[in-house]
């Protein structure tokens, strides 16, 4: 039986949850953790690692380790100037001005990298549930535009998932808190994650969750706080030693890991110590970084980041036409909301209200997504989710201005039609330029797509009647059509190109994911066989030592010969069949040396456990590289 899940695809970490026994439950990954790092790595040996294993080797492989792919998803190369300068891997311009990651001579789309994370989450969850995971509700920041939503949906498709719905993270959080059971309350959701910041105002009651307004900053998150600590440490080190650690990718990676650890510690203590021995070297020898960081210093160097949260909160409150006194409850989402200065800011902006953090901020979004998956599959009743579009949508009209057809914060799904006409006499075609944004000048907004409506009957300007219809589905993805009332000529477009991936690219990535999945299965089988052979060698050697001289000379010689063959086979990475044959022969030798059937079975089970444990440390061969 296939299962539907909820997935919080995060910038730093991702979480997956499912409904069990009528309640949402976070599903642990293969390593037993409840969160999975959103990290994918490509090693020199051609292995693809996902999650904790990828993060663990990042210091030694900074160019081959991709982090924070969510910051790039659905965005063009000319939009990511600040982000690309802040990462250790190479971000290059791909086809048609898209952003791509380049690793070891190959380019990867952000959707492709996010798909690896989604695949690991789904595969690991399937093992936890005992059922294959095929359908998912995936969350995105409320302020994600159409391109970013479509790209996230593409990532799910590449991962082999049917994306039931794309929903906003703050809305999911409200569901997880069970706030839909409240009686007519106004709730503010403050969501500060690893890479993005969202704030939403919701009306809740009578089993309905209605988003009144949403705002945010797609370039503000916990990563930015880490970067301030990195710069603070690097500047101090450069002043003392004349060396800029940010120029060394390995040193920079170590700095970021230390910065994140320090940030977390400063949420509970007022001072932390940072020690990075052998961080670099010069002609005088190795250099070490030892520094103390006070919470007060951290708050000083991040004060402007905290203040950047003010604008979106005030804008959302203004759009929803509420004051601080109207807000009944404040809920916090995202690991960065544990920062004391952030909590103080929220109290200041909401009239002194203490934020509700009773649900783990790292898990709350995935739990809400699981509830929405349950709603869509009929497992959860009596919940109606009314989400909104985060930005206005419209077309370019005469004079280069944007005419809005669907206003920001309109409840979705939504359908609106406006009637336009021609700008010149006898005009027989019009170009429809679809825009997203809040600026008056068309050029200052994002172009989502363009198409041409032809075969308009020649007539004086202003005479033809052209209906332009915008239709947003529940995922926030847009369809636009234009129809000439006179001739019936019609043209339409689905804004899927905005994801920067055409259908053939998505299909190629799906095929590539499938191809890697088969490679990974072969790799896992090879690793398992090698570990089983190692275990058999160890058991035979131990038995020979226990029996000593009582072993007949010819049996001992045969056993030692097989042991030598086995070691050589492992060293030379012999074919799978050879490894299994040697394992079988060694197990026969073991049995012949007087091991009882029961003891042999126990030994094999022990070997299996050892194999599984060592897999985690070696290559995580199921690493979901799909």
> Which of 47, 70, 120, 224 is an active site residue?
70
Question: What burial class does residue 13 get, using C-beta atoms within 10 Å of its C-beta: 0-12 exposed, 13-18 middle, 19+ buried?
Answer: buried
Q: Which residues pair with 276 in a beta bridge?
A: 289
Verify cis geometry, omega within 30 degrees of 0, for the bond prior to 413: yes
Q: Is 252 helix (H, G, I), strand (E, B) or coil?
A: helix
CA dihedral 576, 581, 586, 590 (to 10 degrees): 120
For residue 36, CA distances in Å to 185, 219, 309 come to 34, 22, 27
R_g (Cα) of the chain, nearest Å: 29
Q: Is the dihedral of CA 51, 53, 54, 57 positive or negative?
A: positive
- Apex 137 CA angle, 135 and 143, nearest 5: 150
Distance between CA atoms of 180 and 207, rounded to whole angstroms? 5
8 Å CB contact between 100 and 226: no
8 labelled catalytic? yes
Contacts 24+ apart (CB under 8 A), 580-584: 580/529, 580/532, 582/533, 582/536, 583/529, 583/532, 583/533, 583/536
- Apex 340 CA angle, 337 and 342, nearest 5: 50
> Which of 47, 123, 124, 169 is an active site residue?
169
- Apex 246 CA angle, 36 and 296, nearest 5: 75
424 labelled catalytic? no
8 Å CB contact between 24 and 371: yes
For residue 99, CA distances in Å to 84, 103, 134, 415 come to 9, 13, 28, 32
> Which of 8, 154, 362, 615 is an active site residue?
8
Neighbours of 384 (CB within 10 A): 11
Considering only the C-alpha atoms of the chain, give the largest distance between any 2 of them, rounded to a whole number of Å.
110
8 Å CB contact between 174 and 214: no
For residue 493, CA distances in Å to 149, 292, 443, 487, 489 come to 17, 57, 20, 19, 14
- Distance spanning both ends of the chain, measured CA to CA: 21
235 labelled catalytic? no
70 labelled catalytic? yes
- Tell me the residue length of the chain: 626
Q: What are phi and psi of 616, to 5 degrees?
A: -60, -35
> Which of 47, 191, 396, 484 is an active site residue?
191
Distance between CA atoms of 454 and 496, rounded to whole angstroms? 22
Residues labelled as active-site residues: 8, 70, 169, 191
């Amino acid at each position: 039986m296939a299962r539907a899940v909820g997935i919080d695809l995060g910038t730093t970490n991702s979480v997956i949850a499912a409904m069990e026994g009528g309640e949402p439950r976070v599903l642990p990954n293969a390593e037993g953790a409840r969160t999975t790092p959103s990290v994918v790595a490509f090693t020199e040996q051609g292995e693809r690692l996902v999650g904790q294993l990828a993060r663990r080797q990042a210091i030694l492989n900074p160019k081959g380790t991709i982090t924070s792919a969510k910051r790039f998803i659905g965005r063009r190369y000319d939009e990511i100037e600040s982000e690309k300068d802040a990462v250790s891997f190479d971000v290059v311009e791909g086809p048609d001005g898209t952003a791509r990651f380049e690793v070891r001579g190959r380019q990867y789309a952000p959707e492709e990298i996010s798909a690896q994370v989604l695949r690991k989450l789904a595969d690991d969850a399937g093992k936890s549930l005992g059922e294959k995971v095929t359908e998912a509700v995936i969350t995105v920041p409320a302020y994600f535009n159409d391109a970013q939503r479509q790209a996230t949906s593409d990532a799910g498709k590449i991962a082999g998932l049917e994306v039931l719905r794309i929903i906003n993270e703050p809305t999911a959080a409200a569901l997880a808190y069970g706030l839909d059971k409240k009686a007519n309350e106004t709730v503010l959701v403050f969501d500060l994650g690893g890479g993005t910041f969202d704030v939403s105002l919701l009306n809740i009651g009578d089993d309905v969750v209605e988003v009144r307004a949403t705002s945010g900053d797609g370039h503000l998150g916990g990563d930015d706080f880490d970067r301030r600590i990195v710069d603070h440490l690097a500047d101090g080190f450069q002043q003392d030693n004349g060396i800029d650690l940010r120029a060394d990718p390995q040193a920079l990676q170590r700095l970021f890991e230390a910065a994140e650890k320090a940030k977390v510690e400063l949420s509970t203590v007022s001072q932390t110590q940072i020690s990075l021995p052998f961080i670099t070297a010069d002609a005088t020898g190795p250099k070490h970084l030892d520094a103390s960081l006070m919470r007060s210093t951290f708050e000083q160097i991040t004060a402007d980041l905290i203040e950047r949260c003010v604008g979106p909160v005030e804008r959302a409150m203004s759009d929803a036409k509420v004051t601080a006194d109207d807000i009944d409850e404040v809920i916090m989402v995202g690991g960065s909301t544990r920062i004391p200065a952030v909590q103080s800011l929220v109290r200041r902006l909401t009239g002194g209200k203490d934020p509700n953090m009773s649900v783990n901020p790292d898990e709350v979004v995935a739990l809400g997504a699981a509830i929405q998956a349950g709603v869509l599959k009929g497992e959860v009743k009596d919940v109606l989710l009314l989400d909104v579009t985060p930005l206005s949508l419209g077309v370019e009209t005469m004079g280069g201005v944007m005419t809005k057809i669907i206003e920001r914060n309109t409840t979705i799904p939504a359908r609106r039609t406006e009637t336009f006409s021609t700008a010149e006499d006898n005009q027989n075609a019009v170009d429809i330029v679809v825009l997203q944004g809040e600026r008056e000048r068309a050029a200052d907004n994002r172009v989502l797509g363009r198409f041409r409506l032809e075969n308009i009957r020649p007539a004086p300007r202003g005479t033809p009647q052209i209906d332009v219809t915008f239709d947003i589905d529940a995922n926030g993805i847009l369809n636009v059509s234009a129809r000439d009332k006179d001739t019936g000529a019609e043209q339409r477009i689905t804004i899927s190109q905005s994801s920067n991936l055409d259908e053939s690219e998505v299909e190629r990535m799906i095929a590539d994911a499938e191809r890697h999945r088969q490679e990974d299965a072969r790799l896992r089988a090879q690793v398992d066989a090698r570990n089983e052979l190692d275990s058999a060698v160890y058991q035979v050697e131990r038995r020979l030592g226990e029996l000593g001289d009582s072993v007949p000379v010819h049996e001992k010689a045969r056993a030692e010969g097989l042991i030598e063959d086995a070691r050589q086979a492992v060293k030379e990475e012999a074919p799978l069949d050879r490894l299994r044959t040697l394992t079988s022969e060694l197990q026969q030798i073991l049995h012949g040396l007087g091991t009882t059937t029961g003891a042999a079975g126990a030994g094999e089970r022990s070997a299996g456990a050892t194999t599984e444990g060592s897999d985690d440390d070696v290559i995580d061969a199921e690493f979901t590289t799909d």
